[in-house]
Amino acid sequence: MDEKTLQKLEEINEVNQFTEFISQYYPGINITSYTIEEIEKALFHTYIKLIGRIIFISPRNMRIFLKNFLIKYEIMNIKRVILGTILGISIADKSILVNKLVEKYLDNTEFMDELIEISSLDEIQLFM
């Protein structure tokens, strides 16, 4: 965004206006409720989708680099599952905490699904 666009962005006071404004820069963004958390999730999901698109059209060396870059987000997913297990969150709620798109691009969906199903830290440690 150029400086003029950023200035317009700073002048916005309403969440609905904000989401309307950024939607032109993030086509396909899906915001289900107008909370900061939901907007952040939607922007993050769009970011991961963009990386995925680049992976599919990139040469082999770039794909390897981008998949290694996505490991950072897989680690974040693992941390969320572990924290959810510590807090005693249900399997369904732990599943919501995980960005499945990251796992799809890394071909680790089965691993993450199994990790989400585990209900104790000792079992997670053995599984890992």
Which CA distances in Å does 29 have to 13, 57, 126? 20, 21, 38
Mean pLDDT value across the chain: 90
Q: What is the rounded distance in angstroms from the CA atom of residue 114 to the CA atom of residue 128?
A: 11
Give the model's pLDDT for residue 62. 94
Indicate the domain borders of the chain.
Answer: 60-127
Give tens-digit pLDDT for 21-75.
888 888 778 787 888 888 888 888 889 999 999 999 999 999 999 999 999 999 9
Q: Where are the alpha helices (DSSP H) in the chain?
A: 3-11, 15-23, 36-57, 60-87, 91-97, 100-105, 109-117, 121-127
The Cα–Cα gap between 89 and 56 comes to 35
Per-residue pLDDT at 16 exceeds 90: no
Q: What percent of the chain has pLDDT over 90?
A: 60
Token match 């909370």: residue? 35
